[in-house]
Amino acid sequence: MPANKKYLSSPFQRFLKLTAGFFGGYFVMLYFHLCLTKICDKTDILITAYVTGFIAWAILLLVAFLAKSGWLIWGIYLFLIAVFYGIFMYL
């Protein structure tokens, strides 16, 4: 039974969602943990980042595929990266 056409997206949108989830989600998770090193002890963040980093990256990967538009999720992820990097640099 074929899928309903209204639920299918274009190949370019799928590519945007895939790259946003994989690369964007990874960098959001990375800069979030980098931002946490300014607040907490670096060794504690490094130890917990092994588990929480994978969980956060997996959730961000799934959220990318739930979004309506690949451009929208890239915009959100780039905004979060900029915010976390800004906090890390200026705190």
Q: What is the pLDDT of residues 43-90, one digit of tens each?
A: 999 899 989 999 999 999 999 999 989 999 999 999 999 999 999 999
Give the count of alpha carbons within 13 A of 47, CB side only: 5
Average pLDDT over residues 17-42: 94
Q: What is the dihedral of CA 10, 15, 18, 24, to 10 degrees?
A: -120
Is residue 7 scored above 80 in pLDDT?
A: no
